Structures are given as C-alpha cells and as structure tokens.
C-alpha cells in the first residue's frame, strides 16, 4: 500500500477527492483548482454552508431552550439536549471541510485538525445512534413497566446513561485519530507544499477492512436492531391494550430514526464497497461527496423535526421559535398525577 492513497481511500471524510477531478498526472506541479471551476464542488460548498448555518442556529437554539428557558428538566429533554450538543459540535467543524472543498482538496489546517475533525465526525455518528438507542429502550421500559419507570426514571440515572453513551462513542472514535494523517500531495510551481488529509491505514494493519465493518455493525446495524425490537414491543403492547392517546413522542423518535438511516446508510455502504474497490473515477467521487453531504445534513435536520412533529403545525408556524421548540420538548401528560397503567407510559418525561 502506498503512503499516499488514491482518492477513493479518503472515505473517512469524503472531501479530499476534489484535487483529482481535473488534474492529470503531468499537472502535479500546478496549484489545486479552485472550487469555482467545478459544478459539483460549487453545489457541495453551497449545501454545506446551508447545513452549517442551519445546524449551528437550530441546535444552538435547542440547547438554549432546554438549558436556560425550560423551567422543568426531564429525562426526555436530557436525551434531546445530548443529541443537540453532538450535532452542534459536528456542525462547528464544517467550515474546515468547506474550506477544504473550496481550495480544491488542499488541507491547510495541520495534522492535529485533520485528526480532530475526523474524530468529531465519527463521534457524532456513534453518539447520535447510541442516544437514539437509549431513548428507544427508555420508551420500551416505560410501556412494559410503567409504574416502575415513573418511580425510577431520574435525571441522575439518565445522566449516567448519557455519559456512558458518550464515553463509548469516544472510544469507538479513537481509530479515526490514529489513522488520519497528513502528507505532501504535490509541490506547486512556486515550490510551495500542498498537503492532504487522508487515511493512513499502514499505521494500523488490517484497519482498512476492520474499521468500516466495525463501524457499520456497532454504529448502524446493531443499534437499529435494538431500536426496531423496542418499537415493535411498544406497538404490539399498545395495540393489544387498544390504547388511544397522543403519539407525539413516538412520531418525533420515528422521524429521528428514519432521518438517521437515510443520512448515514449511503455513507456506510460507500465505505464498505470502497474496501473491495481500487478504482477511482468521477462516478465514485460523486457518490463519495453525496454520501458525506447526506451524513452532514443529519446534524442540521433534528431541531426541525423536534419543532414540527407536534400538534397543530399551522398554529406553531405562527408562534415564535422559542415557543415552537419549547412546546416540542414538553410531552403530553395525562391529567392524573400518577401513572398507573401502560396506557400512560409514552407520556412519561
């Protein structure tokens, strides 16, 4: 394996491909082309700028509303606050990727930021899906053991669960720090070095195969299986009891899961296929850019799902943004002061 991998090996972040779209081997001493010379590059930059703005504003607003504006903190709001923090951190690193794209694939931020931005990407992927697993298991337990859940679901225990989820996510993100590296990809006509940020799989033998497979299994397949089982139990239990009540929490979580699958499945598929393919062409690189952009889009969409999955959407559109988000996090609760049956479980906060 060469020390400087082909463009298809840049699947960790999927942004480094731009250098090779217009350059031929005999043009290695020319500066990297600017983004304005490539239509797909321009589209990617515009989309990522939009994702960055919406992600920072939306997730920042969620963090502000839950952290400072809501008087009552609940287990549910802790789940969604953690999701917002994860998405906010990732969106905050998008300007580095946007700059990388706009400069034609040249990495100008040094080796540390090459590793750090990759670490944040993987951390966001794992923390998001692990938190969704926590929410699903929490809802399932609330349906099966409603009284126990009402008496034992505390903010302290939820906080411990969140810390464990974040800790495991960080552990799963360490390989990204290890294998990401920088190297000189070319020397320009004025003798300036142009660097690239890439996966140096030689650092960890067999990591080129193991890392994508482990991420797909532990960061996608297994969590989705757990989530599916939990929601199947919830649906069966509610139908058997012939319950009729608000489904707002169920709709919000379902929308989050569907969005996560649509956003991250192409990313995982591309990384898995890239293991067995050494071919690098414009088609594979367009697929690469699309999968990376979809993954990034997941981080800006969640706040809008919170806001528009509740009741009376038209009325919400006329309300202030603060009212929209605060209402989204306040789950409908029965009039009684104590939950005594499964029929009330989904409203547990």
Cβ–Cβ under 8 Å, residues 180 and 115: yes
Cβ–Cβ under 8 Å, residues 212 and 268: yes
Query: Looking at the domain assignment, is residue 47 inside a domain?
Result: yes
- Per-residue H/E/C for 118-132: HHHHHHHHHHHHHHH
**Residues 6+ positions from 162 with CB-CB distance below 8 Å:** 78, 79, 82, 131, 134
Cβ–Cβ under 8 Å, residues 280 and 8: yes
**Which residue from 135, 148, 156 is spatially nearest to 331, judged by alpha carbons?**
135
Query: Looking at the domain assignment, is residue 256 inside a domain?
Result: yes
Query: Looking at the domain assignment, is residue 222 inside a domain?
Result: yes
Count Cβ atoms below 10 Å from residue 164 Cβ, excluding itself: 12
Terminal CA-CA length for the chain: 53
pLDDT (0 to 100) of residue 267: 85
Q: Give the structural domain span for 181.
A: 7-347
Backbone angles phi, psi at 71, to 5 degrees: -75, -35
Query: Looking at the domain assignment, is residue 1 inside a domain?
Result: no
Q: How far is the C-alpha of 45 from the C-alpha of 61, rounded, in Å?
A: 24
Q: How far is the C-alpha of 55 from the C-alpha of 228, rounded, in Å?
A: 27
**Which residue from 149, 156, 179 is spatially nearest to 78, judged by alpha carbons?**
156
- DSSP-assigned letters across all residues of 299-324: HHHHHHHHHHSSS-HHHHHHS-HHHH
How many residues make up the chain in this entry? Answer: 349
pLDDT (0 to 100) of residue 345: 42
Compute the Cα dihedral for 72, 322, 62, 233 and give only its sign.
positive
pLDDT (0 to 100) of residue 248: 61
pTM of the model as a whole: 0.76
In the chain, the number of structural domains is 1
Could you read off the pLDDT tens digit of each residue along the chain, which spans 349 residues? 333 333 333 344 443 333 333 333 333 334 445 565 677 778 888 999 999 999 999 899 888 888 887 778 888 888 888 989 999 999 999 999 888 878 777 888 999 999 999 999 899 989 988 998 998 898 888 888 888 888 888 889 999 999 999 999 999 999 999 999 998 877 767 777 888 888 888 888 888 889 999 999 999 999 989 988 888 888 888 777 665 455 666 677 677 788 888 888 888 888 888 777 655 555 666 677 778 888 888 888 877 776 665 444 344 445 555 666 666 665 544 444 444 444 444 444 4
pLDDT (0 to 100) of residue 126: 93
Q: How far is the C-alpha of 280 from the C-alpha of 282, rounded, in Å?
A: 7
pLDDT (0 to 100) of residue 19: 36
Query: Looking at the domain assignment, is residue 332 inside a domain?
Result: yes
- Kindly calculate the radius of gyration of the chain based on its CA atoms and give it in whole angstroms: 22
Domain of residue 112, CATH code: 1.20.1070.10
pLDDT (0 to 100) of residue 334: 42
Compute the Cα dihedral for 249, 250, 253, 259 and give only its sign.
negative
pLDDT (0 to 100) of residue 217: 94
Q: How far is the C-alpha of 338 from the C-alpha of 242, rounded, in Å?
A: 21
């Amino acid at each position: 394996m060469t020390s400087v991998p082909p463009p298809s090996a840049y699947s960790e972040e999927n942004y480094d491909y731009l250098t090779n779209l217009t350059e031929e081997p005999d043009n290695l001493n020319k500066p990297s082309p600017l983004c304005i010379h490539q239509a797909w590059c321009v589209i990617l930059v515009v989309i990522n700028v939009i994702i960055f703005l919406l992600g920072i504003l939306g997730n920042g607003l969620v963090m502000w509303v839950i952290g400072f504006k809501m008087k009552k903190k609940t287990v549910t709001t802790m789940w969604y606050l953690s999701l917002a923090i994860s998405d906010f951190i990732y969106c905050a690193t998008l300007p580095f990727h946007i700059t990388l794209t706009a400069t034609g694939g040249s990495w100008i931020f040094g080796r540390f930021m090459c590793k750090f931005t990759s670490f944040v990407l993987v951390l966001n992927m794992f923390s998001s899906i692990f938190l969704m697993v926590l929410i699903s298991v929490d809802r399932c337990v609330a349906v099966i053991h409603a009284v126990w859940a009402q008496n034992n679901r505390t903010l302290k225990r939820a906080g411990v669960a969140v810390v464990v989820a974040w800790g495991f996510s960080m552990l799963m993100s360490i390989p990204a720090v290890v294998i990401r590296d920088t190297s000189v990809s070319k020397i320009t006509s004025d003798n300036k070095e142009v660097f690239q940020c890439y996966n140096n799989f030689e650092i960890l033998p067999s990591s080129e195969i193991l890392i994508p497979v482990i991420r797909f299994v532990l960061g996608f397949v297994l969590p989705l299986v757990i989530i599916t089982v939990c929601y199947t139990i919830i649906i069966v239990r509610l139908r058997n009891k012939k319950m009729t009540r608000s489904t707002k929490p169920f709709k919000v979580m379902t929308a989050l899961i569907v969005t996560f699958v649509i956003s991250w499945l192409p990313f995982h598929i591309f990384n898995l296929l890239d293991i067995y393919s050494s071919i690098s062409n414009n088609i594979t690189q367009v697929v690469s850019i699309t999968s990376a952009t979809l993954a990034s889009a997941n981080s800006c969409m969640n706040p809008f799902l919170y806001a528009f999955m509740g009741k009376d959407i038209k009325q919400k559109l006329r309300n202030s943004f603060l009212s929209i988000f605060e209402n989204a996090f306040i789950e409908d609760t029965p009039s009684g002061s104590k939950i005594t049956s499964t029929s009330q479980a989904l409203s547990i906060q």
